[in-house]
Amino acid sequence: MATDALPASIGEAWRLAATRIDRLDARLLLEHVAGCTHATLIASPERPLAAAAAAQLAALVERRAGGEPLAYLVGSAGFYGLVFQVSPAVLIPRPETELLVELALKQVAELPANVAAPRLLDLGTGSGAIAVSLAAHLPQAEVSAVERSPAALAISRGNAMRNGVSVSFHQGDWFAPLAGERFDIVVANPPYVAAGDPHLLQNGLPFEPQEALSDGGDGLACLRAIVAAAPQHLVAGGSLLLEHGYDQAAAVRVLLKEAGFVEVASHRDLAGIERVSGGHWPGKSLR
């Protein structure tokens, strides 16, 4: 899609873009730059496309053809029915991570009746997708989130505002900013890809923040740290839920059991992969 032969209409622009990249990606990029809908594109393909928009589309198509994720090009991604701003400062929310939200909501539903305002914590919140989704579905809850990266924290705070929810954000490593605080449910989607894993070079991952993908070691370092510190931040009977890699469920269950967690189990995502493992801290809630 050369910039010296810019298309004059949205229909022509879509056809040209689709010769370079996936047809759906081409349509979404066109809708992004032209401010049109799919219905408009189908019903009025002859609608004029401004030269500036055509040039912008050409540049975005070139970047998409080079492997850059679509979400970064349009600046947003959907997750659990909401829309989140994203940039290369944060990971793009994945559909499989929605399992973590679903399990946390289920745990809240099973809390004792006297827990009127459950306390939830999301560690390494990134874009804020998990924390904001929980807050949106649990208006009665107190949701907190921790993130080390200032750039990511700015995005997560903005996403909470855009989606009209209240989340208490903290900057720091894991539980460090929350000394003395305890929660009913702690969730985390930490870096769990092992250094050197070939997946880091595939499917657009080279464009995403590597420190949010890999711990630089065996992929379990962050999971170990969270499991070790969690007992000091959970109420009796509280739950810890951790997303992990496709081949790490057994190792995470061992970590949880060795730390003293009970009712330890792993849960499968829609692809049938054990994606989230968790357990309860012993005891009966006195809240």
Reported as a pLDDT band with limits 50, 70 and 90, residue 212 is very high
189 is in an annotated binding site: yes
Please give the residue that has the higher pLDDT: either 201 or 153.
Answer: 153
Please give the residue that has the higher pLDDT: either 185 or 205.
Answer: 185
Superfamily of domain 3-66: Ubiquitin-associated (UBA) domain (1.10.8.10)
pLDDT at residue 242 greater than cutoff 60 = yes
pLDDT at residue 124 greater than cutoff 90 = yes
Alpha carbon 267 to its chain's center: 18
High-pLDDT (> 70) share of the chain, %:
97
C-alpha to C-alpha distance for 24 and 256, rounded to whole angstroms: 42
163 is in an annotated binding site: no
* Measured CA distances, 260 to 42, 263, 264 (Å): 58, 10, 10
The pLDDT of residue 4: 56
> What's the average model confidence in pLDDT over 171-186?
97
C-alpha to C-alpha distance for 206 and 67, rounded to whole angstroms: 9
14 is in an annotated binding site: no
- Per-chain mean pLDDT for the chain: 94
C-alpha to C-alpha distance for 260 and 263, rounded to whole angstroms: 10
Q: Determine the CATH number of domain 88-280.
A: 3.40.50.150
246 is in an annotated binding site: no
Q: Where are the domains of the chain?
A: 3-66, 88-280
147 is in an annotated binding site: yes
Task: Give φ, ψ of 187 to 5 degrees.
Answer: -125, 155
The pLDDT of residue 2: 47
The pLDDT of residue 286: 54
Non-local (6+) Cβ contacts of 51 within 8 A are: 6
The pLDDT of residue 6: 78
Neighbours of 43 (CB within 10 A): 10
97 is in an annotated binding site: no
Q: Mind listing the pLDDT tens digit for each residue in 27-86? A: 999 999 999 999 999 999 999 999 999 999 999 999 999 999 999 999 999 999 999 999
The pLDDT of residue 197: 87
Please give the residue that has the higher pLDDT: either 114 or 262.
Answer: 262
pLDDT at residue 119 greater than cutoff 50 = yes
pLDDT at residue 200 greater than cutoff 90 = no
Reported as a pLDDT band with limits 50, 70 and 90, residue 3 is very low
174 is in an annotated binding site: yes
> What's the average model confidence in pLDDT over 228-255?
97
128 is in an annotated binding site: yes
